[in-house]
C-alpha cells in the first residue's frame, strides 16, 4: 500500500513564500509521475504542477508559472512544492498525487491518471 502524506500548509500573508512537502511511504514505490492539485471551496480540483520521475520533466499550469517550483529528493522519496509571491487566490487544499508510470505531457494534468492521493494540506493566503 502506497501512502502519500502532505505537510507544510498554513496561513500566510499575501506575498509570502511557502513550501509544501509530499512523502511517499509504504511498500517500495518509485513514482513515475507526481503532481500537485488544489481545490478551493466551491471550485473544481485543478492541476498545479507535475514532475515526471524518469527525466525530471516539469509541467506547470499557466496561473502559477514563474511563482511555483516543483522539485524532488529521490533519497527521501519526497516531492516539494515551493510557492512564492502567494496571492489570496492560491488559497486551497493542496493534494499530492502519484502514479507508478510516466505520463505523456498531454495527460499529465488529468487527475484521473493518478492512482494515489494524499489527504491534502490547507493553505490560506490572507492579510
Per-residue buried b or exposed e for 64-81, using 16+ beta carbons within 10 Å of the residue's own CB: beeebebebeeeebbbbb
> 42 with 105: CB under 8 angstroms?
no
| Tens-place pLDDT, residues 22-55 | 999 877 778 899 999 999 999 999 999 999 999 9
| Tens-place pLDDT, residues 3-21 | 999 999 999 999 999 999 9
| Tens-place pLDDT, residues 72-110 | 999 998 999 999 999 999 999 999 999 998 899 899 999
Amino acid at each position: 500500500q502506497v501512502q502519500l502524506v502532505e505537510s507544510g500548509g498554513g496561513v500566510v500573508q499575501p506575498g509570502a513564500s511557502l513550501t509544501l512537502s509530499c512523502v511517499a511511504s509504504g511498500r517500495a514505490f518509485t513514482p513515475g509521475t507526481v503532481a500537485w492539485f488544489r481545490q478551493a471551496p466551491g471550485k473544481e480540483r485543478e492541476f498545479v504542477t507535475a514532475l515526471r520521475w524518469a527525466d525530471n520533466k516539469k509541467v506547470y499550469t499557466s496561473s502559477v508559472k514563474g511563482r511555483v517550483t516543483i522539485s524532488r529528493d529521490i533519497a527521501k522519496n519526497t516531492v516539494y512544492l515551493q510557492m512564492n509571491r502567494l496571492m489570496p487566490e492560491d488559497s486551497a487544499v493542496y493534494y499530492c498525487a502519484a502514479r507508478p508510470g510516466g505520463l505523456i505531457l498531454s495527460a499529465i494534468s488529468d487527475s484521473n491518471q493518478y492512482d494515489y492521493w494524499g489527504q491534502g494540506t490547507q493553505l490560506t493566503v490572507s492579510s
